[in-house]
Amino acid sequence: MKASFKIGLTALVVLAAIGMLVFKYRQYMIDPWTRDGQVRANVIQIAPRVSGPIVDLPIADNQFVHKGDLLFEIDPQTFQAALDQAQANLDQTRDQLLNLEQQVKSAEASLQQSLTGVRNAAFGVTSAKAHFEEVEKDLGRNQTLVGSGTIARRDYDLSKESYITAQANLNQAQSQLDKANAAKTQAEAEVARAKAQLGAPGKDSPLLRGAIAAWEQARQNVTFTKVRAPVDGYVTNLNLRLGSQAVANQAMLALVDVNSFWVAGFFRESAIGSIKDGDKAVVTLMTYPDAPLNGVVESIGQGIAQQDGSTGQDLLPSISPTFEWIRLAQRVPVRVRITQKAENVVLRVGTTASVLVMTDRK
């Protein structure tokens, strides 16, 4: 009896173990799970826009900062001097433009005067020509009459003198018209020269736009001396000291964006076929094994790096040896967004996590 009981109990335990294995295998196949996970976040490399010695460093390594907080300040004296010079150049340019505008107005006024002179001279030519033609007719008539003895010689001589005077007046009027036209041409050239020096008027002036652009660049450089946090995050790898030389566009420290954390779970390619965007996930951090995090699948990797076929020594393809009867599954990254976590859980980039994706329910 006791032997039968022991055999039955053993069989029951074996069956329970087999059932548990079957259940876990089925759960593994339905809800993929991996221990190969890692906490990720956007890490922003903080690089200054200008170069110079650091004169203010109000932060410490691993300190939390808010968006807009001062990270460090570069000596602004050189850039402030450049801004003052740009302001002086801008003021000088505005004065220069006012002077050029006055020159244009003066040239245009001179052109109007020359046009009036041309009109007056043309009227004088017309009047002198009409008078000359009248005197010329009188001279011709008197010449006929003096030949026939109808008028005295003295009257003919007077009409001849009037003809000579009228002709001289006409020549003088024509000369005045030529001078007036020359003055008009010169005035037009002066207007064109003044407008060319001025360029486009008002805010469209290239001189003014160039001076404003130089001033704006100098102003921005002064602003760039204060490097501020672009997001809320933690300062990482701070090796700066007061007096350190900051170099433009060279990363000086890293800032971990606290609002960008996610978990990358690396699943076997044989297990990702059932994973879809939007599936719920449970993340367990090695740091906090008793505080699982809730998450949701955001995306599944569309490709991984290929080792075989990459260029090796002597530019030949590098192929790793494999065993024909063993096929190792590749790991495909699955991005999981954290939706809920305990207040005492602190996410750190690069820490290890296990990821369970529940594919049969939302």
Burial label for 320, CB within 10 Å (0-12, 13-18, 19+), is exposed
Per-residue confidence (pLDDT) for residue 28, from 0 to 100: 55
Per-residue confidence (pLDDT) for residue 337, from 0 to 100: 94
Q: Say if CB 299 and CB 335 are below 8 A apart.
A: yes
DSSP letters along 294-359, please?
Answer: EEEEEEE-S-----TTEE-GGGPEE-----TT--PPPEEEEEEEEEE--TT----TT-EEEEEEET
Three-class SS state of 105: helix
User: Which CATH superfamily, name and number, covers 79-219?
Assistant: Helix Hairpins (1.10.287.620)
Residues in contact with 178: Cβ distance below 8 Å, sequence separation at least 6, in sequence order: none
DSSP bridge pairs for 43: 256
Q: Which fold has domain 30-40+259-358?
A: Elongation Factor Tu (Ef-tu); domain 3 (2.40.30)
Reported as type and span, the H/E element at residue 272 is none
Residues in the chain: 362
Q: Say if CB 341 and CB 276 are below 8 A apart.
A: no
For residue 342, the Cα-to-chain-centroid distance in whole angstroms is 41
Per-residue confidence (pLDDT) for residue 183, from 0 to 100: 86
**In CATH, what class is 52-75+225-250?**
mainly beta
Query: Residues of CATH 1.10.287.620 domain(s) within the chain?
Result: 79-219
Query: Residues of CATH 2.40.30.170 domain(s) within the chain?
Result: 30-40+259-358
DSSP letters along 172-233, please?
Answer: HHHHHHHHHHHHHHHHHHHHHHHHHHH-S-GGG-HHHHHHHHHHHHHHHHHHHTEEE-SSSE
Average pLDDT, consecutive stretches of 10 residues, N- to C-terminus, the chain (362 residues): 65 70 58 91 95 95 96 96 96 89 85 88 86 79 71 75 83 87 88 82 84 95 96 92 93 94 92 88 94 93 76 70 68 93 91 90 52
A 10 A CB-CB count for 229 gives: 20
- Distance of alpha carbon 357 from alpha carbon 271, whole angstroms: 10
Residues in contact with 211: Cβ distance below 8 Å, sequence separation at least 6, in sequence order: 86, 89, 90, 93, 94
Q: Say if CB 308 and CB 319 are below 8 A apart.
A: yes
The sign of the dihedral angle between the CA atoms of 179, 185, 188, 193 is negative
Per-residue confidence (pLDDT) for residue 287, from 0 to 100: 93
Per-residue confidence (pLDDT) for residue 269, from 0 to 100: 87
